Chain A
């Protein structure tokens, strides 16, 4: 449970960071004013730092799990956080750049391997480590996490291209305006949709042999969501 709380904190802190004026500069998040609008930039920055630190502490003080596993969990979590931050840096560096079709896809996969999938992956991985999963089981959950993380982003890009701010809960059309690379831009909306469905199939495959209905429905939910 502490690990579950920790990943949610990391997620929240990454969203606060993303919305900052010097980053994506988003004044709206989940239908409400973003953190820095309410509390000011400096407090938000400190909140990001404090949340990440608290998440770290929650995992490292896990009492019911053997130390060896906790150390492994810490390693996975910090690896994920590092990828998140590096992904954001790569995203910033790549904004406005134009890519030939294949290069665009490679770049996009790099970004999302670092920006979107780490948290989802690490959530699944941490659950397995803390719950006593074997190395092989942990790896399958890692693959599951990667698939649904990527899938989430593909669907997100497709939705942004099609919907309004109200339906989304965050500012729509931003990707288009910022000339950021997205899946629809690189492969077209229809192919992007099909890619998402393929990822779902792959995710479900990884779950075979586990009794994990919640994870299976999560994957289905993501591929079918509207906001």
Chain B
């Protein structure tokens, strides 16, 4: 499905028009139609190019080479959408932040994301031999090296933030808040909880694992971007809900095309957009990337060919 910048509102091409609440839907559709003039593809692809270069520089191959090669294999994988870093940068710029301030954190988010995928694919976890159409990390490097590669990416991500975020632009207290946010996302109340419940079950609602496993990264990316851009606590709260909904939306869209998946996708899509309404005051230009992020979750291949 090729992306076309001048397409009519995407909502109608993907989601059947809802029978109820037409007012709310048309409000979002109006936003989408102005958004469709925004060239998200160029915005996203130029950002991706810059992020890829920074990631390449962030993980040089040192001795012992094995682990660094394993890390690079997953982080620099072709076909990665770089959603966490792009969302982080977009959220930072929404508040007038400088993207140079956001890049180290954006890279760190991608490293953490890659690490969680490496671990997810391991035989003792989801046991996936393939990732993004290629052999998963442990298939190439072995389970022990893949495990270590994932474990090394977490500290490297934090290291990258503290050593590359310019303290003259971002106050140290803010850098620490970003670190804390990522640590919380990765830990026992975030992604780890989601993976645990996914594997072991427990007295939790079905959405719990889904929310923790996929919502967490989106939430984290948006909030970190907001922190770096100087968002207020209330604004961070909205970003959090927005990011969580988008994270979950991407997963639902990736999963299957069932009726319930479509319904859930629509619900999440509307929820995400609703959270963005408080940011109207910042103007369309800065807000549009975050809106169209939601629309194009429905078209995971829109970036091809890069």
Contacts and interface: CB of A to CB of B under 8 A. Distances in A.
Partners in one complex: yes
Interface of A: 17, 20, 22-23, 40-43, 45-46, 48-50, 52-54, 56-57, 60-61, 67-68, 70-71, 74-75, 77-79, 81-82, 85-86, 88-90, 92-93
Contacts of A93: 64, 66
Given A85-B148, A86-B152, A71 B176 contact: yes
B186 interface: yes
B145 A89 contact: yes
Contacts of A43: 196, 199-200
B154 interface: yes
Contact of B155 (A17, A82, A90): A82
A155 B162 CA distance: 36
A114 B67 CA distance: 14
B155 A78 contact: yes
**B148, B152, B163 pick with most chain A CB within 10 angstroms:** B148
Contacts of A92: 144-145, 148
A48 B116 CA distance: 13
A82 B158 CA distance: 10
A17 B155 CA distance: 15
Interface in B168-202: 171-173, 175-176, 179-180, 183-184, 186-188, 190, 192, 195-196, 199-200
A23 B147 CA distance: 9
Interface stretch (B14-22, B74-82, B119-127): B119-127
A86 B172 contact: no
A6 to B, nearest CB: 11
A123 B182 CA distance: 23
A75 B162 contact: yes
B159 interface: yes
Given A46-B195, A85-B155, A67 B172 contact: yes
A74 B192 CA distance: 21
A50 B67 contact: no
17 contacts: A43-B196, A45-B125, A49-B187, A50-B187, A50-B188, A50-B192, A52-B154, A57-B180, A57-B187, A60-B179, A61-B176, A67-B172, A71-B167, A82-B152, A82-B159, A86-B64, A92-B144
B147 A20 contact: yes
A23 B148 CA distance: 10
B304 interface: no
Contacts of A86: 64, 67, 152
A42 B124 contact: yes
A61 B64 CA distance: 33
Contact of B158 (A22, A40, A42, A56): A56
Contact of A53 (B152, B154, B162): B154
A47 to B, nearest CB: 8
A48 B119 CA distance: 12
B147 A53 contact: no
B176 A60 contact: yes
B156 interface: yes
B149 to A, nearest CB: 8
A223 to B, nearest CB: 30
Contacts of B190: 53
B264 interface: no
Given A43-B200, A92-B145, A85 B152 contact: yes
B174 to A, nearest CB: 9
